[in-house]
Structure 1
Amino acid sequence: MTGRAGRRGAGGARTPRRPTAVHHPEVPARQRVLPTDRPRPVFSRLYARISEGMDAEGLGALRTELLAPLSGSVVEVGCGNGRNFTRYPAAVTGVTAVEPEPHLRGLATRAAAAAPVPVTVVAGTAEALPLPDGGADAAVLCLVLCSLPDRDRALAELTRVLRPGGTLAFLEHGLGPTRRVRAAQRLADATLWPLLAGGCHTAVDPVGSIQRAGFEVTTLRRLRFPDSRLTLPATPHVLGLARRPG
């Protein structure tokens, strides 16, 4: 015989009743993670908070300079929360924006509604772009190469999806100009920087990577952001255009 407190087991001891599962309708179901997703729940929310301030400090003007020469169909790799979208020129006929981080992708989808050109946000990674061969007139890399697990493969994918003679516009941070800065970058990469900055590495050579992939760099400007007296591991930047051969 069992009572309300439980049932008797061997030796007459009462075994506690198994608790009944309680459904909480106010708690949303966990979002489905796609196979291509790379969730970074802490960094994605931090970046979403600070990106507006970074644009106000000068990054927004650099974004505009980056995108101004583009026209036709564009692929933006690692679009983040869509800070570039409102800066595309009228000569762009459409943008396919690829983002693997689910929270940032959701913010980018909302930002696309305010863009002056058609923008479609899709899930995917730089190393396996969900796009056909040779269908894009231009591609955009904006603060992306530093955090990619396989930069060479990502650039090979851009070569695949760009038409022959297509344009690659890039704004990236990379190797510092002096031995001391490069040593600080290597130290940062070996310690906390990638953990705090969403997998970002500072001792990378974006221009060298782009050239090794077969692109011809046609314009290049080296700059500092933020442009302050203090040089951080991610202060040295490059902004430029490259041409896909063919």
Structure 2
Amino acid sequence: MDSLGPKAEWRFRERKLGLFSCLRREQGVSTVVEVGMGTAPNLKHYAKDVDRIIGVDPNMAMHQYARKAAEAAGAAAKLQLVTGTAEALPLEDASADAVVMTHVLCSVRDQQQALAEVRRVLRPGGKLLFLEHVAAPEGEVLHAVQRALNPVVGFVGHGCSATRCTLAAIERAGFASLDADSFKVSFWGPAAVIAPHIVGCAVK
């Protein structure tokens, strides 16, 4: 992830700049929880504008890379790393102003439980910011290809799924409002199986 991630990250730069533009202390966002932080490629987009960042990841091996990214973003003192899963966030109720999830809901064991946990830790009016690859619409050739190749995607992506209807899951999660866009990423070859994406914001 640390070596290959930057090669794909440029494809999402403009989307992330727009998505994270609301993560500002002057807009009432002080504490951000990033679920599935991994190697922390998102920090450079928002770390300087908030006061506290809690990174949650089930893989402790990612922590050293997240700390390195925080140092590069000038936010090492703001970052707290905890080991945990999206389905059981080790955080108190209403403790976050915003939750960030990018390319996470494709691999959690239980999307609805993970989203319920996000709602639990968000304060009233808090925001879930998401960017996820999703299943292509039924009837499209790509949808059939995704279903056929999903076992391979799961093996290569350590449990990732190319067939999840993530926007529908977010719609069922009970947020007060939801704003989302769909787009496709210009991946070539086998990676095109994860080209369909959604990006948006859900407010508790």
Q: Which TM-score bucket, shorter chain as reference?
A: 0.7 to 0.9
- Relative contact order higher in (CA < 8 Å, ≥ 6 apart): 2
Match in the other structure for 1:106: 64
- Summarize the Cα distance change of 1:217–1:229 in structure 2 as closer, same or farther, 3 Å threshold: farther
Contact 2:47 2:73 in 1 (8 A): no
Q: Which runs of 5+ in 1 are unaligned?
A: 1-46
TM-score norm. by structure 1 comes to: 0.74
- Secondary structure, aligned partner of 1:232: helix
Query: When you count helix as a share of all residues, which structure comes out higher?
Result: 2
Match in the other structure for 1:38: none
Does 1:50 pair with 2:13?
A: no
**Post-superposition CA distance 1:37-82 (Å, at most 9, x none):** xxxxxxxxxx2221011113x2233332221112321110001101
Aligned-pair identity (%): 35
Instruction: Name the CA distance, whole Å, in 2 between partners of 1:116 and 1:206.
Output: 33
RMSD: 2.0
Instruction: Name the CA distance, whole Å, in 1 between partners of 2:155 and 2:177.
Output: 31
- Secondary structure, aligned partner of 1:49: coil
Contact 1:67 1:89 in 2 (8 A): no
Contact 2:48 2:73 in 1 (8 A): no
Match in the other structure for 1:96: 54
- Higher CA-based Rg: 1
- Secondary structure, aligned partner of 1:176: coil
Instruction: Name the CA distance, whole Å, in 2 between partners of 1:89 and 1:102.
Output: 21
Match in the other structure for 1:40: none
Contact 1:48 1:104 in 2 (8 A): no
**Post-superposition CA distance 1:60-108 (Å, at most 9, x none):** 3333222111232111000110101111064422111101112222211
TM-score norm. by structure 2 comes to: 0.88
Does 1:169 pair with 2:129?
A: yes
**Post-superposition CA distance 1:137-185 (Å, at most 9, x none):** 1101100000101111111111110011211100001021352221111
- Summarize the Cα distance change of 1:197–1:88 in structure 2 as closer, same or farther, 3 Å threshold: same
Match in the other structure for 1:78: 36
Match in the other structure for 1:181: 142
**Post-superposition CA distance 1:102-134 (Å, at most 9, x none):** 222221122222224422222111111111100
